[in-house]
Structure 1
Amino acid sequence: MAEMETVEGASFSGEDWYGDELGERHYLRCTFRDLDMTELVSQGTVFEECVFGNVKFNASRHTDSAFLRCSFLRCNLFEAEFAGCKLTGSSFEQCTLRPLRVTGGDWSFVNLGEADLRGVTFQGVRMREADLAMAHCDGATFSGVDLSGAHLAKARFNKCDLRGSDLTAFHPAEVELRDAVIDAAQAVVLVQALGLRLG
């Protein structure tokens, strides 16, 4: 089995990667600025400690890829899809993240504080200790998501589908949950978070 090619410390600026297909390549501490990655496809690609500035990820598709401890600043992820990807420790700042679709994978310790996540979909994703403080998640789907230890102060989850997710980090006094859909087991968790007991 061939060893994965590593690209370390490179800078890419103003390039057109529209529709490109990235295979098993390891980008380590690289910088990507003002790139067009619209409709790009990555399969098993690893980005580690990389910086993405003003990159267009519109309609891109990522499968079994990893973005480890990466920084995304003013990037556009309109209609981007991540399947089975690992984004642990990455941060998103001033990014367009909707409509985003994430299925499976590990987004633990991701910083999505204050992000506009209205209508996005996270299904079967691990998001332990993710920062969603003040995030606007109205109408989103977080189904079967591990949100244990997540930071959720002043986050909005109104009209969200939260069924099957770990809600132990949810404190109803700190999070907006108006018209959110939950299952019976989750209702018990939220009742306990309010300091109530079921009779």
Structure 2
Amino acid sequence: MADRKHGRPAPKTETTIRDWDDADPSGRTYAQVLFIDSDLTEVTNQGGVFEECTFRGVRFNASTHTDAAFVNCTFVRCSFFDTTFTRCKVMGSMFDDCSYNLMKVEGGDWSFVGLPGADLRGVELTGVRLREADLTGLRASKASLRDVDLSGAWMHQADFSGADLRGSDLSTLDPLTVELKNAIVDLTQAMVITTSLGLEVRP
């Protein structure tokens, strides 16, 4: 399993749920639960709360999560194919060996999440807070990361080639340690990147 930032251990779980195939988490709260090999395909989660839970081999395919929370959770070998998160709170959660094809995230707070080495190619993130997230080795070529707060995020060796980064906070991005070929940025971001390279812009 990938390590969390600063080597923090994953929260311990107290109960286990297997094959949770009739799931209806809307409006319910789960704490320190281990979910194993469950199929949450096409589940609609409105306001469900998961605190310090672990998901192993869970399929979230085509599910929708609105105003829900996954706080300090751990996701291992989970599938998020065509999953949609809207205004969700995912602070401090860790993702390990998951798949994210066609995933969409709109709004919400994903600060301090761990996505080291994650393959987010083609994923759409809009207006998401990813402050101090671990994005080391992230593969996000041709992804859309519009208006994303990346302040303080770890982005060493991340690949943003061809990605749309317009409106996102790139103040802590080091262009010498990431791949930015053909990435789309706005004028303000171009100035930030130019300055970080030690260049002076004059009329």
TM-score normalised by structure 2 residue count: 0.91
CA-to-partner distance for each residue in 1:41-90, whole Å, 9 max, x for gaps?
Answer: 11111100000000000001000000000000000110000000000000
User: Alpha carbon RMSD of aligned pairs, Å?
Assistant: 1.1
Residue 137, structure 1, aligned to residue 113, structure 2:
no
Aligned equivalents of 1:35, 1:179: Cα separation in 2: 39
Residue 124, structure 1, aligned to residue 107, structure 2:
no
* 1:97 positional shift: 1.2
* 1:24 positional shift: 1.2
Aligned to 1:12: 17
Unpaired runs of 5+ in structure 1? 1-7
CA-to-partner distance for each residue in 1:152-195, whole Å, 9 max, x for gaps?
Answer: 00000000000000001211100100000100000010011111
Q: Quote the sequence identity (%).
A: 47
Within the candidate set 108, 112, 133, 1:109 is matched to: 112
Aligned equivalents of 1:44, 1:175: Cα separation in 2: 36
TM-score normalised by structure 1 residue count: 0.93
Aligned equivalents of 2:166, 2:94: Cα separation in 1: 26
Aligned residues: 190
CA-to-partner distance for each residue in 1:13-33, whole Å, 9 max, x for gaps?
Answer: 12313xx44321110101100
Aligned to 2:184: 181
Unpaired runs of 5+ in structure 2? 1-12
Secondary structure of 1:22's partner?
coil
AA of the residue aligned to 2:18? S
Aligned to 2:56: 53
Give every structure 1 segment of 4 or more consecutive aligned residues whose post-TM-superposition deviation is greater than 6 Å: none
